[in-house]
Amino acid sequence: SSMGEQVIYMNGGFVKKEDAKVSVYDHGFLYGDGVFEGIRSYNGNVFRLEEHLERLYDSAKSVMLNIPYTFEEMTDLIVQTLRRNELKNAYIRLVVSRGVGNLGLDPFSCKEPNVIIIAEALAMYPQALYESGIEIASVATRRSRADVLSPKVKSLNYMNNILVKIEANLAGVSEALMMNEQGYVAEGSADNIFIIRNQKILTPPGYVGALEGITRNAIIDLANQKGYDIQEGVFTRHDVYTADEVFLTGTAVEVISVVKVDGRVIGDGKPGPVTNDLLSAFRELVEQDGVKVYDEQLKAI
Ligand code: PMP
């Protein structure tokens, strides 16, 4: 890795990128059977790693997938992956698939899961997007119902999200506004949504149907600390159209302003003051918070 060669963690060891391959009989490939996380490291600090691992292990438990490592071992493996790749600012993709089985659906035919950790230098969103804000469009495809495919499970089956991304792209925008089956606003294709009206900040509660975003929860904490009135609340497209400010949150995008929704201009068409305030607070937080990858005290396996 000192020669700049990327290594990927796979089932107990590190392999070169070109050797990091899984079988076509892996049920992650055949059926989208598995779970994953997208995590970020800022300047050698892994942001909210414990929350990400909690969500991963909860997702795995929900689908009866046994992750063969303890929480602590997984933490060490992520630290080790960053160290081996000499990365400080990174995007980390942690994947646990059901593993190799036969062609049948039965997950119990799979003997052991594949555990993969990919860490790469982060492809940042251009700063211009944060300054201009983005445009989104609502899509016909609904967020999967909790009793069909729970949005709380971060599974490898992202077809629901992919279909809305296609719709958004066909509508000429980069991100989608996804409703649940009742028409209440749920989330974006891979980000949570917040609206602001008369200084009140709202984000949909979990039961509307959204992934419980780590960034979302960090923003709720920050907004509370800063004395904003922030609450979980159910709302419709109308409330989005008539909001003073709208923003999306996610690990990759952090906090991004939305300035147009289905052709309706939000506020004065520029990122608003509350959004900007929360984005800067978030960028301050990520520099201090998190698991310190290069702390000598941290044991490496
Ligand atoms: N919703 C979905 C469907 C997602 O895939 C993501 C990205 N993990 C998010 C929301 C945002 O969550 P987080 O802030 O944890 O990245």
Residues 109 and 213 in one domain: no
Structural domains of the chain, count: 2
d(CA 178, ligand 1 centre) in Å: 13
How many Cα atoms within 13 Å fall on the side-chain side of residue 139? 28
Which of the listed residues 123, 142, 166 is the one where a domain comes to its end?
123
Q: Report the complex ipTM.
A: 0.99
Cβ atoms of 238 and 219 within 8 Å: the answer is no
Residue 37 lies in a domain: yes
If you search the block for the tokens 């200084």, which residue do you land on?
199
Residues 155 and 275 in one domain: yes
The tens-digit pLDDT sequence of the chain (301 residues) is 455 799 999 999 999 999 999 999 999 999 999 999 999 999 999 999 999 999 999 999 999 999 999 999 999 999 999 999 999 999 999 999 999 999 999 999 999 999 999 999 988 899 999 999 999 999 999 999 999 999 999 999 999 999 999 999 999 999 999 999 999 999 999 999 999 999 999 999 999 999 999 999 999 999 999 999 999 999 999 999 999 999 999 999 999 999 999 999 999 999 999 999 999 999 999 998 889 999 877 665 5
Residues 141 and 272 in one domain: yes
Which of the listed residues 90, 123, 156 is the one where a domain comes to its end?
123
**Best CA proximity match to 119, nearest among 92, 137, 96, 84:** 92
pTM of the model: 0.96
Residue 2 lies in a domain: no
Residues 45 and 132 in one domain: no
CATH number for position 207: 3.20.10.10
Residues 100 and 161 in one domain: no
Residues 138 and 41 in one domain: no
Residues 183 and 63 in one domain: no
Residue of 152, 154, 226, 260 marked catalytic: 154
Cβ atoms of 230 and 201 within 8 Å: the answer is yes
Residues 27 and 108 in one domain: yes
Q: Whose CA is nearest to atom 2 of ligand 1?
A: 190
* 111 catalytic per annotation: no
Residue 263 lies in a domain: yes
Q: Is 186 in the pocket of ligand 1 (CB under 6 A)?
A: no
Range of the domain at 253: 127-287
Which of the listed residues 93, 123, 153 is the one where a domain comes to its end?
123
CATH number for position 57: 3.30.470.10
166: tokens are 């296609």
Residues 38 and 63 in one domain: yes
Q: Is 144 in the pocket of ligand 1 (CB under 6 A)?
A: no
Q: Is 161 in the pocket of ligand 1 (CB under 6 A)?
A: yes
Residue 295 lies in a domain: no
Residues 148 and 277 in one domain: yes
